[in-house]
Amino acid sequence: MRKTRPSGSTQQHNPAASVYGGHRFSLIAELGAAAALLIVALIAVNGWHVWHTYHLALERSRANTQNLTQALSQHASDTFAQAESTLQELAGQISQSGMGNDQLPRLQRIFLEKTQALAQINAISLFDATGRMIVTAANRLPVSTDYSDREYFQYHRDHPQLTVHIGKVIRSRISNDLVLPISRRLNHPDGSFAGVLLESVMINHFRNFYTKFEIDDDSTLMMLLNNGTILYRQPYNEKAIGTTIAGSDLYKENIRQNHAGIVTSSLAADQRQNVYSFTHLKDFPVIITTGLSLDRSLLDWRRDAISQGVITLIFVTLIALTGLLLIRQVRARMHIELELIRTQQELRKLNRSLEKLARSDGLTGLYNRRHFDLTLAHEFNRSLQQHQDLGLILLDVDYFKQFNDLYGHVAGDECLKLIGKTLRELPLRARDLVARYGGEEFIVLLPDTNLAGTLAVAQRIVREVEQLRVPHQGSPTDILTLSIGIFVGVPRADRDTPSKLIVKADAALYQAKHQGRNQICVAG
């Protein structure tokens, strides 16, 4: 059985702690978390949008580059295929008629007709086995007819193949224009070298086509030989024609190793990154590469990204300011609520104090008679409903009037306080109750307790008071003693009331006094 305290030692409940304690999320933290989550979500969504549109812009740039490369490669293939067809046709005619002096006027007319029919051709020329020009589309031969120093002539002289050869861009000794030499070897019937048939394609033919595509200065359209030598470049730069990109990463790591592809690279370490698309022509040793400026390709995306960033920043700022404003308002409101709660706590404390005063005995600290009567009524009803025993112990201090006469009322009050302390320290149960009933009388309520249990409590009270050894010369025992009356039983609704139970206990107490005091009597 656990001890009880008359005034009730219940744990204090702090409403402020339940509202603002660490075991719950505060409203401020929730608002801050919501604002932060909204900001993170907004940044994430816009970040994903910027990332997605970046890749879309890059893919568009790659697609545009690839389409441009296909258009240029188709143009180059058509030009070279036409040149190859023309050279094959003329080679067949020369093979049939020969290269004698009597055939030269006829060949000159044929060359002129072909040149006039094809706008891209600067000239068609025929060279003998020594490299001497023997016929050309022009009306007359140049002053110097020795072309044995030309790369195309030396190539065919040293290579027996009858395939078309595309050489480096050269300047025509007849028109002084830049031309692309496309040539074919001619053989005698015995297979020995007979000469070279040359078709000179004007560089302006490519220039006129390439300028149809609008590109910025950082972009590049190029036609290369397989070894990286530049045949044409747009934006047009005559000095770049004939140079090579074989040393660049674009060529070494991509063009040389792959037939076609799309990469992001640069021609030199100090140049900006471009999106390059390249392809090797299927039937000719020529490469077409297109490099569109990455900055230009991403210009619209960059503008959109900046706009998105500004809009996101504005919304983040608005959310942050709104969150801060709400947090400030919530803090102010919570401060007011906290003050209200503190005020309510003070009022509750005051109410508890008043309630304690209302149900407690000021002298002994035990419950007073009013509180006892209310509790007895409650336990009486419960006992009726559950048919349980109800025990009452009514005790009175023996010869207390004599004690006051001998030692004074102050000593009498101290005596009552001591008895009250003794009763408070009894190991009673939670529903058990000890109260000062009036004057020197005390009463103990023991719900659901049989006669043996009630007697045990009464006997302990007697022993505890005797052990105090309070001197009392007005008593036969010379110490302070108690007389106790007990009632134990199950109340009956037809004849019992709470007050009648007390009357029965009081009758037992009167019997104990009548029989000489310092004893316990049980109501019959």
Catalytic amino acids? 440
Non-local (6+) Cβ contacts of 147 within 8 A are 127, 131, 132, 133, 153, 173
3-state secondary structure of 479: strand
CB distance 305 to 50 below 8 Å: yes
Amino acid of residue 236: Y
Non-local (6+) Cβ contacts of 177 within 8 A are 122, 171, 202, 203, 204
3-state secondary structure of 202: strand
- Cα(319)–Cα(321) distance, rounded to whole angstroms? 6
- Cα(506)–Cα(421) distance, rounded to whole angstroms? 23
Calculate the dihedral angle through the C-alpha atoms of 305, 311, 317, 322, rounding to the nearest 10 degrees: -140
User: What are the distances in angstroms from CA 470 to CA 12, 263, 416, 437?
Assistant: 37, 109, 11, 21
CB distance 231 to 225 below 8 Å: yes
User: What are the distances in angstroms from CA 150 to CA 128, 153, 379?
Assistant: 13, 5, 130
Residue spans of beta strands (DSSP E) within 337-407: 390-397
Residue 430: Cβ within 10 Å count = 10
Q: Is 206 exposed, middle or buried (0-12, 13-18, 19+ CB in 10 A)?
A: buried
Non-local (6+) Cβ contacts of 510 within 8 A are 485
Amino acid of residue 317: T
Non-local (6+) Cβ contacts of 225 within 8 A are 166, 168, 231, 285, 286, 287
Handedness of CA 249, 255, 257, 261 (dihedral sign): positive
Alpha helices by DSSP H, 118-178:
151-158
User: What are the distances in angstroms from CA 415 to CA 89, 420, 485, 516?
Assistant: 145, 9, 21, 21
Residues in the chain: 524
User: What are the distances in angstroms from CA 427 to CA 1, 4, 106, 432, 433?
Assistant: 6, 8, 142, 10, 11
3-state percent helix, strand, coil for the chain, nearest multiple of 5: 50, 20, 30
